[in-house]
Structure 1
Amino acid sequence: MEAGLESVIAAHTVLSDVDGEAGRLVLRGATLESLAGVASFEEVCVRLWSGLAPVPVDGLKAALGAARVEVWSEVERLDDALAALPPVEGLRALMARLADGEDLPAALRITAAPAVFTGALLRRRAGRPALAPDPSAGHAADLLRMISGRAATPAQAAALDAYLVTVIDHGLNASTFAARVAASTRAGLVSAALAGISALKGPLHGGAPGPVIDMLDGIGSPGNARAWLEAALDRGDRLMGFGHRVYRVRDPRADALKGAIRRLGADEGRLALGEAVEAAALEILRTRKPDRPLETNVEFYTALLLEALGIPPEAFTCIFAAGRVAGWTAHAWEQVATGRLIRPRSIYVGPEPAPE
């Protein structure tokens, strides 16, 4: 058996297909390129959830808006201790208060929760009052408004929609596998989501985009890129935003997010810095590590897009969760419907008992 369950088939799924050799992501029969920047988050939720639950095909936007209002009641119990936690840990604690279940209302609550709770946590940390949801708004637009206090422009809402769609599901990644394990015990959708977010917060998974901003800030200008990156590799540092466990070519999500940044009309200087760093990093990595396929991954342009939308780096993982939670939900439903209790075996390599 390979370390990290490499190459082990742990589930059959209709939800997403990650082709690491071709650099292709399929979300229930549609390529990522055909969805990101075209379909809304709510529309892709319908795509993933249909057939697994009685999803209101034409009414999910309203249902999700009503769910944001429902989970808002938990914000009244947001105390100073929770607000002082890192945002992703505060989000996890607030989500743990939601009523569990395996039905559509439970799914809507946990899908609504990251948007409502992230905005409330960030505003409380900044000394500002939390803002109640607007159930008539699209999910992405309302998420941005609850963080910033200003109505999102159509371009901003479209950019965040593209991001949420891009990260909604991605095969049997660590957080999705954790969610499926929890779901296989019939613990409920909230419990599955909590397992997912606990795995997502790790720096080798959803916690990675924040350090990309630190790297860009450290480099400062395009002319400094090569020297800074060479020095980082000389110290044995990892270049954040490059390399992926599955993809052997460029991560298709990176291009989807780069396109979203361009459509947003974000700071051209910041994008130019990102492109210069990307080009220098890829050239250096190909020279230094010719036997390892280290291409741009989703984290690199995630950082630039979320920064352009005014989201602080400490909340990047919360926004990742706001998209991926819908995928966890779909996988949890699929596991309950088609799978068994997940219980792999281990091989004991410890000491043998002493002879009696």
Structure 2
Amino acid sequence: MEIHKGLDGVVVSETKISSIVENQLLFAGFNIDDLVAENVQYEEVIYLLWYLRIPTNQELADFKQDLAVQMSISETIVTCLKIQTRQNLHPMSVLRSTISLLGVFDPNAEETDLISTYKQSIALQAKMPTIIAAYARLRKGLDPIEPKAELSIAANFLYMLTGTEPDEIQITAMNQALVLHADHDLNASTFTARVCASTLSDVYSCITAAIGSLKGPLHGGANERVFDMLTEINAGNLSVEEYLNQKLDRKEKVMGFGHRVYKTEDPRKKHLKKLAKELSALTQKEQWYFLSCQVERYLKDKKGLIPNVDFYSATVYHCLDIDSDLFTLIFAMSRVSGWLGHIHEQKEEDCLIRPRSHYVGPKHLSYSKIDTELQSGGMEA
């Protein structure tokens, strides 16, 4: 059997949800450059990823209403979040466990008909921003803030995080970040969700599995590590060049650089870099943007490495006053839209994902029965 480490270059399914064509990212055929240029609402992108078409005005209004109705979380979930703030847990572990609990408390979690599946999907999509914002406040000793039905997902998240309604610039930045992270071909977490869905498991289990995959620093967790790196450079006595050379000499990975698919440029990077520049200027945090540019230039000239979606998103989220250990949760808050679309598509395909592996261990060993008396004597000794 031919081996493709990490399934590199292997096509395992067909999809109509998103694609990477000639270094461009398309959502159901629409170029993300156009979606960002038109400042398309994240809610519209969710609808696009689920139904593979742009909604009418009435369909979008009804869809947003369905989301608004489901945004609040119960006191039981809040209590569970409070308990988790007392533990030494990574926020992604808290999100993973809490999403799983949503399935425990949903009496219809095991139902697989279209209406039940839609309700489960809406609940997951709508509640994730509320869960993240509530946890962010609870761990600081603050009470959670109820979402406002009239606000968008982007605006609501920032409002629930701070208690102050964000301005249009902040809303636009948050909305565009959510759009850019909404889906991305068959990435690791999406593949995890599809593998789980291929077994006909429930939607909550599929999303929980995807979150576990996204947590890893080689996937969604990279944006948190990017800001850790920028903080180390900013606080240390080494120049950008000295810091990066030491890192490269130790053969350590530089988070936020390189991509399995893109070899010239990640098409999402330019939008996030523009947002980082604008937000850092507005918030007087330009040093993070300039520092990021220095890192980008040096690694491109030194190693030919290109930034990916994680690199400039770290500065964007920092300028929105989001704690760095929450960055990957924001990724999940956006990517859940794509996960849900892929889960439904995989279930319609009705094909169990079950690859093979190439065995390289010993063969044809002879088995010798264990001497139980000798084992017993040894225990007594």
Question: When the two structures are superposed, what TM-score results if normalisation uses the length of structure 2?
Answer: 0.85
Q: Which amino acid aligns with 1:204?
A: L
The farther-off stretch of 217-226 and 93-102 is 217-226
| Structure 2 SS opposite 1:65 | helix
Of the structure 1 ranges 226-235 and 131-140, higher mean CA displacement relative to structure 2 is found in 226-235
Tell me how far apart the structure 2 counterparts of residues 88 and 150 of structure 1 sit (CA, whole Å): 25
**Counterparts of 2:152 and 2:78 in 1: how far apart (Å)?**
23
**Structure-1 residue corresponding to 2:303:** 285
Q: CA deviation at 1:333?
A: 0.5
Measured after TM superposition, the shift of residue 338 of structure 1 is: 2.0
Cross-structure match for 2:18 = 16
CA deviations over 1:230-273 (Å, ceiling 9, x no partner): 12212222212110111111111111211223444443332122
Change in CA separation of 1:30 and 1:225 when aligned onto 2, cut-off 3 Å: same
What do the CA deviations read for 1:159-185 (whole angstroms, capped 9, x no partner)? Answer: 011011101100111100110111112
Aligned AA (2:94): G
Q: How far apart, in 1, do the equivalents of 2:74 and 2:174 lie?
A: 21
Using the TM superposition, give the Cα deviation of residue 224 of structure 1 relative to its aligned residue in structure 2, in angstroms. 2.1
> Are 1:172 and 2:186 matched, yes or no?
yes
Aligned to 1:82: 84
Match of 1:128?
142
Q: Contact 2:81 / 2:94 at 8 angstroms: preserved in 1?
A: no
Distance 1:79 1:334 in 2: 32
1:257 to 253, 272, 290: 272
Q: What residue is the counterpart of 1:245 in the other structure?
A: 260
Cα drift, residue 355 of structure 1: 5.0
Cα RMSD between the aligned structures? 2.2
Q: Are 2:167 and 1:153 aligned?
A: yes
The 2-side partners of 1:281 and 1:344 are apart by 36
- Which runs of 5 or more residues in structure 1 are unaligned? 287-293
Within 1, Cα distance between the matches of 2:213 and 2:81?
25
Structure 1 segment 11-50 matched on structure 2, within 5 A: 11-19=13-21, 22-36=22-36, 38-50=39-51
Asked if 1:92 is matched to 2:96, the reply is: yes
2:362 is paired with a residue whose SS is: coil
Match of 1:202 in 2: 216
Contact 1:16–1:28 (CA under 8 A) maintained in structure 2: yes
Q: 1:64 — aligned with what?
A: 67
Instruction: Report the TM-score, using the length of structure 1 for normalisation.
Output: 0.91
- Corresponding residue to 1:236 among 251, 262, 279: 251
Shift of 1:120: 1.1
Residues 212 and 303 in structure 1, CA contact (< 8 A), matched pair in contact too? yes
User: C-alpha offsets along residues 62-105 of structure 1, whole Å, 9 cap, x if unaligned?
Assistant: 22111112x34443332543123221111111111223355211
Q: Which among 342, 356, 359 is matched to residue 345 of structure 1?
A: 356
Which residue of 1, 5, 29 maps to 1:3? 5
Preserved contact between residue 257 and residue 307 of structure 2 (Cα < 8 Å): yes
Q: Would the aligned equivalents of 1:165 and 1:323 in 2 still touch at CA under 8 Å?
A: yes
Question: Which whole-Å CA distance do the structure 2 matches of 1:326 and 1:81 have between them?
Answer: 28
Tell me if the contact between 1:134 and 1:142 (Cα under 8 Å) persists in the aligned partners. Answer: yes
Whole-Å Cα distance in 2 between the matches of residues 354 and 262 of structure 1? 63
| CA contact 2:276–2:313 (8 Å) conserved in 1 | no
Counterparts of 2:353 and 2:328 in 1: how far apart (Å)?
A: 27
Secondary structure at 1:212's aligned position in 2?
helix
Give ranges in structure 2 of 5+ residues lacking alignment: 368-381
After superposition, the C-alpha distances for 1:13-69 in whole angstroms (9 at most, x for unaligned) are: 0011124xx4211111111111125111101011111169x9943322222111112
The partner residue of 2:177 within 163, 175, 191 is 163
Distance 1:7 1:269 in 2: 39
TM-aligned CA distance change 1:42 to 1:80, over 3 Å: closer
- The equivalent residue for 1:187 is 201
How far the C-alpha of 1:186 sits from its partner, in A, is: 1.6
Q: What corresponds to 2:240 in structure 1?
A: 225
Q: Distance in 2 between matches of 1:150 and 1:95?
A: 26
1-structure distance, mates of 2:35, 2:314: 20
CA distance in 2, matches of 1:79, 1:137: 24
Q: Residues 220 and 355 from structure 1, CA distance in 2 versus in 1: closer, same or farther, beyond 3 angstroms?
A: closer
Q: Which moved more, 1:134-143 or 1:81-90?
A: 81-90
Evaluate the alpha carbon distance shift between residue 261 and residue 61 of structure 1 in structure 2; reply closer, same or farther with a 3 A threshold.
farther
Output the amino acid matched with 1:88. Answer: M
**1:145–1:226: structure 2 CA closer, same or farther, 3 Å change rule?**
same
Alpha-carbon separation, structure 2, partners of 1:316 and 1:74? 25
Q: Secondary structure at the match of 2:101?
A: coil
Question: Considering only CA atoms, is the larger Rg found in Structure 1 or Structure 2?
Answer: 2
